[in-house]
Chains A and B, each alone.
Chain A
Amino acid sequence: MDLGPVESFGFFVPELILGVAVIALIVADLVVRRKDLLGMAALATVAVSLIAVVATLPDKGDAYLFNRMIVHDQFSLFFKIVFSLATFATVWMSLDSREVQRVSQGEYYALLLASTLGMYFMATATNLLMAYLALEFVSLTSYVLTGTIRHNRRSGEASLKYLIYGGVASGTMIYGMSWIFGLTGSMDYAGINTALAAGQEDSLALFVAVVLTLAGFGYKIAAVPFHMWAPDVYTGAPIPITAFLSVGSKAAGFALLLRFFFPALSKLGDGGQWQVIGGVEWPQIILVLSVVSMTVGNLAALQQDNIKRLLAYSSVAHAGYMLMGLVVLSDEGLRSVLFYIMVYYLMNIGAFAIVMLVANSTGREDFASFRGLAWRGGAVPAVAMAIFLFSLAGIPPLAGFVGKFYLFAAIIRSEFYALALIGALNSVVSLYYYARIVRTMFLDQPQGDEGVVSLDWSTGGLVAALTVGTVVFGVYWIPVINLADRSVRFFLG
């Protein structure tokens, strides 16, 4: 289906809910006295929007909306679910975060919801221009959210660095997109695909265009060599925002990247196997990015003393793992990426929730603030943190292992043994730094100056939900893999 502006609104309810809520929050900020209600309202909005997304999950047919600007398909629904869940957890964390309590509530939550709205567009865009606008929308709101703690040098510095890197990356990307438009005469993904399939393009020019465009995607998913912003931004931003960027933003980057490389630059063949068209072997580029990202990310993480910074490098490494799933050009690979994103959401948000819990009581985020956590009243958060970290390292029976298992299975089926070996050895390296945090929490004794960490009901509820998810999906993951399975379906017109 190819719907015009008016008919499209039927598929546009979740976006409308968020859009209206953004405006409502800004207005309410002017009139409402009790600012804590704004956060609750944002939480409710995200929940409603999530329900609206899930309600459209039963197949009602895929469609291009707004004259082929965006698309409604199973793939986009999956990502909308991930973004809603990520924002939901972020808002929940923000309600408990001491850092966020000091910032202007209306602005903060309005920006957060606006950013989520932008992510929805990143997952649905089927037009280069729309993709660029969506990415910029998310970036701009993220810059502000990063610098949201006023009069804090770290936060401001992070915001500025993010802005500069983001500006360069998106500039490079739109330059690349202009080449693609020049080569194919189309900004619509389906149009690009048709033009490439005809095979008239100069493949060197197309190669340049793809590499330039990749800079924008690479920056959003924080893959090496476009990752430089991540450690500083993750360290400087308020913790809920760091969690949001590490999961939501990364997932949005993947949504954009997957839709660009698969429906636009490849052709679906038999048995869910894709073929590259246009003569650019982009899977080779992705393969290099993947290997470099996980290796650099893991090696850099070994040396970090700030937990947020460590998790930033770990998130770079995880971008590398996920990229492995693209290299094999199969629906099975894509499915494993989607599965991994969902699992990554659980464990990474969980880890940041514990960091926030510790930072709330100690005001610090370094290793010393975690020292002996298990022995000074924080046994439950320490156990939860250990579960999240071991899951990130890929130890069974936790969900992170299952995610890695599917990734490895996909690449081994296509006989990329060397890549699998590099990926597996990287997990071993990563265990060392994750275990360093565990060691500090359990094996080291507190020295008395760390402050008491107490688990309140609110954060406890979030942590409990994420922990249960991480453990249960490590043992029985059929619902998640089924969701990922049905979501590997792009609307190709």
Chain B
Amino acid sequence: MNKVDITPEAVELVKQIANKNGALIFHQSGGCCDGSAPMLFAEGDMYLDESDILLGEVGGVPFYMNKDQYAYWKFTHLTVDIVEGRGASFSLEIPYGFRFLVRSRLFTDEEIKELDIK
């Protein structure tokens, strides 16, 4: 059971970008114009520490979220998907004409138990 999954279309795009940019990370952003979206960065570009929670790995890429934000997200299962579009952020997929987005659903009671979410 994963906290975060990814669609095959999104995996394809992640692979293309990884071929060009090397190791990558996802970081779920909050707020404003291009926010509330998963951002894809080159590994090492963003400073991560204990305030960033690792939710899992998708398409070979670790997926992080800020601890404060995770407090509100912890009961939702996430699926990283792509949609046509662009944004003003620094996320690496933008030049490809796509944006990553997360589709969410609530975990079932059994899943919450299995994942030991408190």
The answer to whether A and B belong to the same complex is no
- Chain A contact residues, CB within 8 Å of chain B: none
- Chain B contact residues, CB within 8 Å of chain A: none
